[in-house]
Amino acid sequence: MAARADRLRTGPDADFRADAFPGLASIHIDAVGRQHVVIKSGSRRVTICFQGAPVAVAPAKVTFELAGLAGLFAAQRNVAALQLLFDGSSAAADWTMTAMEKRDALIALDAHYNAASHRDVALMIYGSAKVDAEWVADGCELKDYVRRCRTRGVRLMQGDYRRLLR
């Protein structure tokens, strides 16, 4: 999505701040001097290509540029995604069960190779409230889940990740 940043007219219109996003925003400047602001949270991602005033320095007035009907329709999707990012809507809804299991497997694998206990892994995945309430000596579902995650992570490391690329 193309846009122009202007700082000459300050006031209520200068409302774009790169550091004010609930998600992660990164700025990349290409060889021509265009600023590519990537805003992402969970699986949502919007890239805005700015020309004009540097948006990382101070608030700027933003004018979005559209080229034809095709540009309008593409911008409609980006504006909807940008609105979701601005609203701070939960990105957890974007995670499928399979994606969460893979994420947990990678967390467990990394923790395993850094000598973390099963309880530490459960704390990373679920947080202290759930772990403190449900962690018991034997027969704990959280312990079983962490063990399965570690096993799944080791399988991914040993070559099962290739199935993800197909």
- How far apart CA 142 and CA 127 sit, in angstroms, is 12
Task: Specify whether the CB–CB gap between 80 and 72 falls below 8 A.
Answer: no
| CA terminus-to-terminus distance, the chain | 30
- Tens place of pLDDT for every residue, the chain, 166 residues? 888 888 766 566 667 777 666 556 788 888 888 888 888 776 677 888 889 888 877 788 888 888 888 878 878 888 888 787 777 655 455 678 888 888 899 999 999 999 999 989 999 988 888 888 888 766 778 888 999 999 999 998 888 878 766 6
- Domain ranges within the chain, ordered by starting residue: 2-92, 95-161
Instruction: Record the tokens describing residue 89, joined without a space.
Output: 């809507």
- How far apart CA 12 and CA 80 sit, in angstroms, is 22
Q: pTM higher than 0.85, yes or no?
A: no
Alpha-carbon distances of 30 from 34, 37, 39, 46, 75, rounded to whole Å: 6, 11, 17, 17, 22
Task: Specify whether the CB–CB gap between 63 and 4 falls below 8 A.
Answer: yes
